[in-house]
Amino acid sequence: MPNLMQIQSNAQIVINAEIATVFDASTDCKNLPKFFTGYQSIPAIVGAKTIDELPLHEGSIRIVDNSDGSSIEEVIVLLERPSTQKYKLIKGFKPPFSWLVKTASGQWSYEDLDSKTKVIWNFYFEMSNIFAYAIFRLAVLRPFQKAQDICLRNLKEYVEGSDGRL
């Protein structure tokens, strides 16, 4: 039975680059501020790092600092180069998001398309109650999806503009 309090948002793009290049660029913590620039009420990422200061790996805890002053902790649940990155936000939402969202997680899937790469980014929000669900659907979902689209366009521009020299 599906979770009735879950809201999913997604974005996708095709990038003219090899799958490993796209995967590596999108999972490098130092690149996250270049890609996720926010939109309207959705804060931009201003910094990101793993707490062990190692490259991203399964089990990593990634700290994402946002333009609204929040610091989100994410655990990397699955990292299979070059096909999948999956993560769960474990703490750090700032109001008003903390009032609405119980848990959140994301998954990036990468598909090889003959020297191009299709990236699909699904994000899942579990709402704390029906009121939060309604508010989120009305006020947050559309700006978040736009922020996802912008993020993937920024990734595309970065990877395609670098000719693979990341």
- For residue 16, is it within any domain? yes
What's the rounded mean pLDDT across residues 144-161?
A: 97
- For residue 88, is it within any domain? yes
pLDDT tens digits for 106-144? 999 999 999 999 999 999 999 989 999 999 999 899 999
Rounded to whole angstroms, the Cα distance separating 138 from 140 reads 6
CATH number, domain containing residue 15: 3.30.530.20
- For residue 110, is it within any domain? yes
- For residue 166, is it within any domain? no
Whether the predicted pLDDT of 94 surpasses 90: no
Provide the residue range defining the domain that includes 15. Answer: 6-161
- For residue 31, is it within any domain? yes
pLDDT tens digits for 66-83? 999 999 999 999 999 999
What pLDDT is recorded for position 3?
A: 65
pLDDT tens digits for 7-61? 999 999 999 999 999 999 999 999 999 999 999 989 999 999 999 999 999 999 9
- For residue 41, is it within any domain? yes
- For residue 67, is it within any domain? yes
- For residue 1, is it within any domain? no
Which of 10, 66, 63 has its CA nearest to residue 38?
Answer: 66
pTM: 0.92
How many domains would you assign to the chain?
A: 1
Name residue 129's amino acid. N
